[in-house]
Amino acid sequence: MKKIQIVFLFVLLAFYSGVYAAICQDYIPETAPDSAFLDHNNSLVTDTRTGLMWRKCTEGQTDEACSEGVRDDSLFTWKEALQHVKAVNENSVDGYSDWRLPNKKELESIIENRCVVPSINENFFYLFPSRSFYADANYWTSTTVAGDPAAAWIALFQYGAIVQGKKSDKFFIRLVRGGL
Amino acid sequence: MLLCVIKRGWIVFFIGLLSACGSGSTESEDKDPVTPKVVTVTGLSPKTVELDIEVDFTVSGKSLDDQVTFEMDGCLSPVLLTNSETRLVFRCTPNVAGIQMATIKNGDGKFLSSYPVTINEKVIDPPERPSMLKTEAKSGINLLRWNAQPDVTYTLYNRLTSETASSWKVVKSSLTETSYEDLIADSHLYEYAVSAVNSAGESSRRLETVVIPQLWIDSLSKREGDEGVTTPFEFEVTLNRAATQTVTISYKTVAGSATEDDYSPVNSDQIEFPVGDTQTSFTISVIGDANVENDESFDIHLSDEQNVILGRAEVTATILNDDEPPVPEVNGLSPLSVTVNTEVDFTVTGQFLTEQIRLEIEDCSSAVLLVGGNDKQQKFSCTLSKTGTKLAKVLSVDNNVLKVFEIEVTPAEDIPATGKITQPIAGENYEGDIDIAANAIDEDGLKKSRVIFRSSNKEVILCSGNCTGNSDTWATKINPAAYYDGSNADITLELWVLDMNDRNIKVDEVTFQWQPLSKNYSLPLNDTGVTKFYNSENEVDEEPLDFSGQDASFGRDVVAAYHEDGHAGFSFTKIDSNGDDLPASALEWSCVRDNVTGLIWESKTDDGGLHDKDERFSWWKGDEEKGAEDKFHECNGYTIGVKESYCNTEAYTIRVNSSGLCGLNQWRLPMKRELVSLINSGRIAPAIDIDWFPNTSFDFYWAQQQSSGVPGSGWDLYSWGVNFNEGHVDGVPWQEAAAIRLVHPAQ
């Protein structure tokens, strides 16, 4: 799939206008429509289809509007990611202490496949501002790759794929709770 | 001795006498020339001094001379100021506190005497408490002034007067000015106190308390009085506490519905509360008339407040009309003949009618007053439900019957229209536009003014204005998405006819099921199948403390791990070719239902047939002319030019549906998310539970959605796929060879 990503990057460079807006195609069905989400009008949103409650901010975004935060401080190895979640729960962030790293299917469930750069519903979910067309908008899942325990699955919100990431590499985190 | 002192005092002026006195001394020495001079010290003062304060120590004694020394710890380099036989003065600044010994020695270093000297630390008294000199208040700012003292700073305190039991809060400390403007964000009342502070401490406070009261004025309602008579409207103005300064305030009248003919206006006048007073009043004169009129009003505005906060800045004075209104007279009611079950506007005519009169008609539970009436006529709306003669009463506001009428309610002669929605509609889960058609007939042969389709949240006007004839049919195209209310998959279309009698009549109704495609994404999560724990490198037996919270700790894999129906948290049911459920132990099955998502999945085979695991296809969507339609890959029965045999996703889907796999015929390509739901991330090669999904290729399987991308960019020539070797999800070019596992919506 390396080939696909290279082609895709070329496509973005050729057509992306640089204006900050996701590229969406109306002929592709929405997979994370506004109607699916219950906005708690704070830092939380619930996906009514799965019952999962999500933090709107990427971890490391410090303010209510998810507009501040240091990108480099918000990147975690897989181990750091799990430890970050533990620390968050010890502090009962947003009133809950059962936050967790989403698993592969949970994180996939909020990908918006109608759109790229990024493939997420930006009304409810905040990324760090675009860098290289969201090429680093990669988020950890809690799911280890069964065939390679030194890797775990990551979601690429640049265009919606789910691929393997080395656990020693650093990626972003979005927290989830509830569901089932 | 005295004599000699006096003599010595004259030395400066009468130098000639020096020898006389000197010779006298010499004379006495001469008398006892062998007696040695003995230096004696008899006293030292002061013995109590202050640290770091320059002090003159006086050593008294006999035969003193300038060879005598004065030593004391903390007294550096004492300077001899005065030198006489009886008195030596040393000046120094003690810089060590405590009791120090002052030692006096003679010129030979011989000890003469010592005295303890107490060196006290500087004693500074706390400052005097300052007095509050002046306070001023206006809305939002309290200005405090107090008297000045040297070498102090001030601390200003306040508290709410309503909380006198509470502690004072510091408004500002370390103030060097003797005034402060305290900005007040609310309209509460505050007391203030000020203290002075120096290094010795803080003076007492609460010396002066400032009360800035709140001022209230009451609104007033009063009868206007007889024509030409002036009625005083006295407005009470109160302070909620007595002020500590004189309170002044200006007031003026502002015309409302009352004009300046009705009262004597005041442009600006002032009232004052002497210190201690809490109540006063002022008077506005109201001039009476004989007009029957509504109550009128004017306003009082307060401003320019001094030393007070306005609790209420504006009030309204209401001049009550005391001239009696005339009794309403009812002359007529129309219509007196109406059609049953038809909404009718009744008109009551007469004089002095008000909106408070009521119309009561038998069999009409509540006649509704319509707006826009006047004293000559008022209108009421009512629908009479029974035929016959009905009594109609017009009532006054006091329930007095003003007049009674009889109304004839006649049967409807008109025959309602009929109609039918003649061309329904798509079945379940239909996507896209659908055609509907209808006809409506008014059997009176009257023209239909309007025909509409109406659903719960939208209506479509099929025909309006010139709908002629009695056998018209209409057709239109609707998009069900516009009718979908998001909660109920049933869409009901109603056909309504608005006939020439202005009756809205529903003549037909059709209910059908429809769901937008996005609704398919309300897909319950069936968990990942991961039951093992890992660290950064390896699988481990149990969850390491520093890797807590990983996948295997949560979800159905933990709480619903019944392996009889599938690995970990998965729950599957085998289905035979007729669509009937099979026990888990069945050895042959055609489809599998995921009991969590509800989706039914095609089983793949290894028999060279339609469902063979080795068949490969390109991705093609005919209605949008997207994808790669023809001959990129071999598959069973391919024939050049015969589209039904092509090896693309759409042709394959049609073939499976026409075969009626598991008795079902709505097979389709799975959405990306549906395909992801099948991934078992606890397994590889393939990443799926092969006990339920044998014959799974280690390859990409097609999803229904195209990749999103800029048209013409190349990226839009991909669709999504899931690779069941390890379970990764990515775009696949349309012409690539990928496998298919079709899905069927939940039954």
Cα–Cα dist B82/B385, whole Å = 130
Which chain A positions have a beta carbon within 8 Å of B726's beta carbon?
Answer: 145-147, 164
- B559 CB-contact burial (10 Å; exposed 0-12 / middle 13-18 / buried 19+): exposed
B670 pLDDT above the threshold of 80 = yes
Taking the Cβ of residue A17 and every Cβ of chain B, the question of whether any pair is shorter than 8 Å is answered with no
The β-bridge relationship of strands B132-138 and B329-334 is unpaired
Which chain B positions have a beta carbon within 8 Å of A106's beta carbon?
Answer: 525
Does this chain's domain B132-202 share its CATH topology with B329-407?
yes
Which of B390-399, B518-527, B553-562, B580-589 has the least mean pLDDT? B518-527
Q: If DSSP codes are grouped into helix, strand and coil, which group holds residue B16?
A: helix
Cα–Cα dist A152/A144, whole Å = 4
B153 bridge partner residues: B197
Mean pLDDT, range A17-21, rounded to an integer: 53
Tell me the pLDDT tens digit for each residue of B283-340. 888 887 777 677 788 889 988 887 777 777 888 888 887 767 678 889 899 888 888 7
Task: Write down the pLDDT at residue B469.
Answer: 47
Alpha-carbon distance values, A61 to A64, A74, A174, B497 (Å): 8, 8, 10, 58
**Strand order of the sheet with strand B343-351?**
B329-334, B343-351, B377-383, B368-370
Kindly report the CATH number that applies to the domain delimited by B329-407.
2.60.40.10
What average pLDDT is seen over chain B? 79
Domain assignment present for residue A11? The answer is: no
Cα–Cα dist B643/B472, whole Å = 41
Going from N- to C-terminal start, the domains of chain B cover 39-123, 132-202, 214-320, 329-407, 417-519, 533-744
A171 pLDDT band, cuts 50/70/90, is very high
- Note if the bond before B46 is cis, omega within 30 degrees: yes
The β-bridge relationship of strands B214-217 and B309-310 is parallel
* More confident site: B135 or A143: A143
Tell me the pLDDT tens digit for each residue of B414-425. 566 667 776 545
Closest CA to B533 of B521, B545, B519: B545
Per the structure, the complete domain to which residue A154 belongs is given by 22-178
Mean pLDDT, range B208-234, rounded to an integer: 77
Yes or no: is domain B132-202 CATH 2.60.40.10? yes
Task: Write down the pLDDT at residue B674.
Answer: 94
The beta-strand segments (E) located in B514-642 are: 533-534, 539-540, 572-575, 581-582, 591-594, 600-602, 620-621, 626-627
| Helix%, strand%, coil% for chain B, nearest 5 | 10, 40, 50
Domain assignment present for residue A70? The answer is: yes
B27 pLDDT above the threshold of 60 = no
Cα–Cα dist A134/A147, whole Å = 28
Q: Which of the following CATH numbers is that of domain B214-320: 3.40.630.30, 1.10.540.10, 2.60.40.2030, 3.40.50.11720?
A: 2.60.40.2030
Radius of gyration of chain B (CA): 55
A96 pLDDT above the threshold of 50 = yes
Looking at residue A172, the DSSP 8-state letter turns out to be: B
B216 pLDDT band, cuts 50/70/90, is confident
Mean pLDDT, range B66-87, rounded to an integer: 86
Asked if the Cβ–Cβ distance from B550 to A168 is below 8 Å, we say no
**Beta carbon pairs, A and B, within 8 Å:** 191
Radius of gyration of chain A (CA): 16
Task: Write down the pLDDT at residue B711.
Answer: 62
Which of B4-13, B223-232, B379-388 has the least mean pLDDT? B4-13
Which chain A positions have a beta carbon within 8 Å of B730's beta carbon?
Answer: 1, 4, 161-163
In this complex, the residue of A82, A109, A153 whose CB is nearest that of residue B681 is A153
ipTM of the predicted structure? 0.92
Task: Write down the pLDDT at residue B57.
Answer: 92
Mean pLDDT, range B364-386, rounded to an integer: 82
In contact, B146 and B194? CB cutoff 8 Å: yes
Cα–Cα dist B90/B60, whole Å = 11
Kindly report the CATH number that applies to the domain delimited by B417-519.
2.60.40.10
In contact, A162 and B731? CB cutoff 8 Å: no
Tell me the pLDDT tens digit for each residue of B458-485. 666 766 655 554 455 666 666 565 555 5
Spell out the residues 6+ positions from residue A93 whose beta carbon is closer than 8 angstroms to its own: A55, A99
Taking the Cβ of residue B326 and every Cβ of chain A, the question of whether any pair is shorter than 8 Å is answered with no
Taking the Cβ of residue A38 and every Cβ of chain B, the question of whether any pair is shorter than 8 Å is answered with no
Which span out of B71-75, B161-165, B390-394, B683-687 was modeled with the highest average pLDDT? B683-687
Which chain A positions have a beta carbon within 8 Å of B728's beta carbon?
Answer: 1, 153, 161-164
Domain assignment present for residue A39? The answer is: yes
Asked if the Cβ–Cβ distance from B524 to A1 is below 8 Å, we say no
Alpha-carbon distance values, B696 to A23, B334, B606 (Å): 35, 83, 10
Mean pLDDT, range B263-273, rounded to an integer: 87
Q: Which of the following CATH numbers is that of domain B39-123: 2.60.40.10, 3.40.50.2030, 3.30.70.3040, 3.40.640.10?
A: 2.60.40.10
Secondary structure string (H, E, C) spanning B17-58: HHHHHHHHHHHHHHHCCCCCCCCEEEEEECCEEECCCCEEEE
In the stretch 74-133 of chain A, residues with CB closer than 8 A to chain B read: 77-79, 82-83, 85-86, 100-101, 103-106, 108-109, 113-116, 119
Task: Write down the pLDDT at residue B211.
Answer: 63
Task: Write down the pLDDT at residue B442.
Answer: 61
Which of A98-102, A142-146, B38-42, B137-141 has the least mean pLDDT? B137-141
Task: Write down the pLDDT at residue B124.
Answer: 67
Q: How many angstroms away from the CA of A136 is the closest CA of chain B?
A: 17
Domain assignment present for residue A14? The answer is: no
B206 pLDDT band, cuts 50/70/90, is low
Mean pLDDT, range B730-734, rounded to an integer: 90
Which chain B positions have a beta carbon within 8 Å of A164's beta carbon?
Answer: 726, 728
B398 pLDDT above the threshold of 70 = yes
CB B266: neighbour CB atoms within 10 A? 16
Please compute, for residue A172, the number of CA atoms within 13 A of its CA located in the half-sphere on the CB side: 24
Task: Write down the pLDDT at residue A6.
Answer: 40
Please compute, for residue B570, the number of CA atoms within 13 A of its CA located in the half-sphere on the CB side: 29
Q: Mark out the alpha helices in chain A (DSSP H runs).
A: 2-15, 78-90, 104-108
The β-bridge relationship of strands B314-320 and B220-223 is parallel
In this complex, the residue of A8, A100, A119 whose CB is nearest that of residue B554 is A100
B721 bridge partner residues: B702, B730
Domain assignment present for residue A112? The answer is: yes
Task: Write down the pLDDT at residue B520.
Answer: 43
Mean pLDDT, range B335-359, rounded to an integer: 85
A26 pLDDT band, cuts 50/70/90, is confident
Mean pLDDT, range B221-227, rounded to an integer: 78
Task: Write down the pLDDT at residue B458.
Answer: 62
Which span out of A76-80, B236-240, B269-273 was modeled with the highest average pLDDT? A76-80
Secondary structure string (H, E, C) spanning B343-390: EEEEEEEEECCCCCCEEEECCECCCEEECCCCCCEEEEEEECCCCEEE
Tell me the pLDDT tens digit for each residue of B683-723. 999 999 999 999 999 999 999 999 887 666 667 789 999 99
Spell out the residues 6+ positions from residue B253 whose beta carbon is closer than 8 angstroms to its own: B263, B265, B266, B267, B284, B298, B299, B300, B301
B403 pLDDT above the threshold of 50 = yes
| Cα-based angle B400, B404, B409 (whole degrees, multiple of 5) | 135
Task: Write down the pLDDT at residue B223.
Answer: 80
Task: Write down the pLDDT at residue B443.
Answer: 56
Task: Write down the pLDDT at residue B455.
Answer: 66
Which of A143-157, B306-320, B540-554, B695-709 has the least mean pLDDT? B306-320
Which span out of B397-401, B518-522, B634-638, B667-671 was modeled with the highest average pLDDT? B667-671
B665 pLDDT above the threshold of 80 = yes
Which of B220-229, B575-584, B674-683 has the least mean pLDDT? B220-229
Q: What percent of chain B has pLDDT over 70?
A: 76
Question: Could you give the number of structural domains in chain A?
Answer: 1
A65 pLDDT above the threshold of 90 = no
Task: Write down the pLDDT at residue A10.
Answer: 43
Cα–Cα dist B351/B326, whole Å = 9
Task: Write down the pLDDT at residue B652.
Answer: 95
Q: Which residues of B634-661 are buried (b: 16+ CB within 10 A; e: fewer)?
A: ebeeeeeeeeeebbbbbbbbebbbeeeb
Mean pLDDT, range B479-495, rounded to an integer: 60
Cα–Cα dist B621/B627, whole Å = 6
Distance of CA A77 to the CA centre of its chain: 15
Domain assignment present for residue A53? The answer is: yes
